[in-house]
Structure 1
Amino acid sequence: MSAPPLPRLAVTVPEHAVPAFAAAFETACEGVAFFRSHDQGHPTGPDWTVEGLLTDPAARARLAGALALAAAASGIAPPDVREDSVEAEGWLARTRDAFPPQPIGRRFLIRGTHDAGVTMPGRIALTIDAGLAFGSGEHATTRGCLMALERLPRPRGPVADVGTGSGILALAAAALWHVRAVGVEIEPWAARVGAENARMNRLNRRVMIVHGNGLAAPALRRHAPYGLVLANILARPLCAMAVDVARNLRRGGHAVLSGLLVEQAPMVLAAYRRVGFALAGRIALGHWATLILKRR
């Protein structure tokens, strides 16, 4: 007997809004995915479709509120929400096709659970649940952060990953340097996914994923000061947390910040320079920037 059709909701948004809308869908949907769309209606670059499976009808109101907040945070009008149904087998097959093994930088290979046996010589292979697309390595912000890790020395102390999502950056740091890492995620569902990814990669003894509000989370404060702080979120929250990052980071430690457009990088850099950081490197991938900062 085949599985019943699944209700699928989707929006089309400009590229800079993808992180906010992916996070919004994760509050209420399973199997969140995003991919380039064929529409070219937005002047900021190619449109992207963000979609998810609404398996709990009671979560519809929660999703509507999260999407409204994502639109406000991204500075766009609330997009139309499209709804249809999709056969479970067909949706999963498309998700697998959209998430092939991805070599990133010189050291990492990100693969889905459907490709868990794929390896490449000299690369650290991390397996991520393909049902959670954001944090899979496909987006330029995640790729920039992974490439930034390769440029850094082994941190003197544990690693904090703020807004960890799938846990991919915490896992990558722990696997690269054999250090402890703590990831915090404000959405409880995403935190559970991140913790499961840590177990799946046999890194749960080094990586702890917790539900909490950024650097204010008690689990993160307990392990401070950190040798490295990672934050792949949005530009304005990055600016707002500059003081907290400085307080929780060792002198001489590094911060890797992403989730910001290239034109937003000067604003974020200025906020961190005011609290004692210097620019140590910058990675630009398309419209997106990743900053590598060092606390003086």
Structure 2
Amino acid sequence: MRASAAGPGLSFRHALPLETVAVEGLPEHAVPAFEAAFETVCTTVGYFREEPAETWRVEGVREQGADDEELAGALALAALVSGIEAPPLLRTDTEAEGWLARTVTAFPEQPVGRRFLVRPTHLPDTTTYGRHVLRLDAGLAFGSGEHASTQGCLRALEAVAHRRPRRILDLGSGSGILALAAIGLLKRRVIATDIEPWSVRICAENARLNAVPHLMRAILADGWRNPDVRAPGPYDLIFANILARPLCAMAKHLAANLAPDGTAILAGLLGSQARMVLAAHRRRGLVLERRIDVGAWTTLVLRRR
């Protein structure tokens, strides 16, 4: 998965002497601080999740050598705020036209399952029959549908949509793609929550892109600790596309906030971790209804009887 923010300041009509500057191996909590650091001197900033280590790479494009001292200071401050050792700065020459082409081709239109089509905003919004179109900004693509765990969740949603769940929660929403899919397919209001402020911002922006801000409530929350997450429950459908260990840790709270006969779609876990996650939720009274494997990644569809 990746996310990036692109600004208008760089002109791509001429081959400017550009370079890409980057840092790698960041923990997720450090991404916003390093994003802000790069934004001090770079017009275009991107952040990418590195698998399987689950660390992040943050990069920016700027004119070669521009504002070196300012960038060094901003990166040192980001490391201090994040409580990590400052990573080395990586530099590569980048042709303007080549960078733009890489950004566009990295996020193509893609069908997912039988009923969804993820369409980036740099492509024309043509009429599409037989699929629900999810519009996502190529510059705001965290959870763009390309990752196997997201695809598994979308396929799981197709399989349970006939139950017409009314109260829906997307826990750890990222871009909000799963919330948008549920809104498009079920025409229901969805609460989308994430622990990171930048994810909540992106989620709300994507809701506006898809003309459904009135059906999505994007809130900043640390999982089930927030009363704004618990109060609208119990939920008929809960998405939790996170990671295996946090899913296990939250099993008790998820089960407590899932309505009788409700469905939980869990993802972000490798196939080798599925047994561990399933065991944690079985202890709380949930049963396995379906398992969806996409490559090395697994999605579990659980139900509360």
Q: Which band: TM-score by shorter chain? A: 0.7 to 0.9
How far off is 1:62 after superposition? 3.7
1:32 equivalenced with 2:38 (yes/no): no
In structure 2, how many angstroms separate the alpha carbons of the residues matched to 1:86 and 1:66?
29
Structure 1 residues 160 and 81: CA distance shift in structure 2, 3 A: farther
Q: Contact 1:33–1:95 at 8 Å: present in 2 too?
A: no
Counterpart of 2:21 (choices 3, 8, 11) is 8
1:106 equivalenced with 2:121 (yes/no): no
Q: Cα deviations across residues 27-67 of structure 1 (Å, max 9, x unaligned)?
A: 5324324689xxxxxxx79x999443389943555468869
Counterpart of 1:171 (choices 170, 180, 189) is 180
Give the partner amino acid of 2:280.
Answer: A
Q: Contact 2:27–2:55 at 8 Å: present in 1 too?
A: no
In structure 2, how many angstroms separate the alpha carbons of the residues matched to 1:68 and 1:277?
39
Aligned-partner SS, 2:122: helix
Q: Cα deviations across residues 115-166 of structure 1 (Å, max 9, x unaligned)?
A: 2514432000011121233300011011110111000033433111111000
TM value normalised by structure 1: 0.80
Aligned to 2:138: 130
Q: Cα deviations across residues 173-196 of structure 1 (Å, max 9, x unaligned)?
A: 111001110011111011101101
Aligned to 1:259: 268
Q: Which runs of 5+ in 1 are unaligned?
A: 13-19, 37-43, 70-77
Counterpart of 1:146 (choices 154, 160, 167) is 154
Considering only aligned residues, what root-mean-square deviation do their CA atoms show, in Å? 3.3
Structure 1 residues 22 and 213: CA distance shift in structure 2, 3 A: closer
1:190 equivalenced with 2:199 (yes/no): yes
Structure 1 residues 267 and 205: CA distance shift in structure 2, 3 A: same
Aligned-partner SS, 1:142: helix
Identity %: 44
Aligned-partner SS, 1:114: coil
1:294 equivalenced with 2:300 (yes/no): no
* Comparing 205-214 and 266-275, the one that deviates more: 205-214
Structure 1 residues 133 and 197: CA distance shift in structure 2, 3 A: closer
Equivalenced residues, count: 273
Q: Cα deviations across residues 65-97 of structure 1 (Å, max 9, x unaligned)?
A: 86969xxxxxxxx99763446466643431111
Counterpart of 1:205 (choices 192, 200, 214) is 214
In structure 1, how many angstroms separate the alpha carbons of the residues matched to 2:258 and 2:56?
37
Aligned-partner SS, 2:47: strand
Aligned to 2:65: none
Q: Which runs of 5+ in 2 are unaligned?
A: 1-8, 36-44, 63-69
Q: Contact 2:240–2:247 at 8 Å: present in 1 too?
A: yes
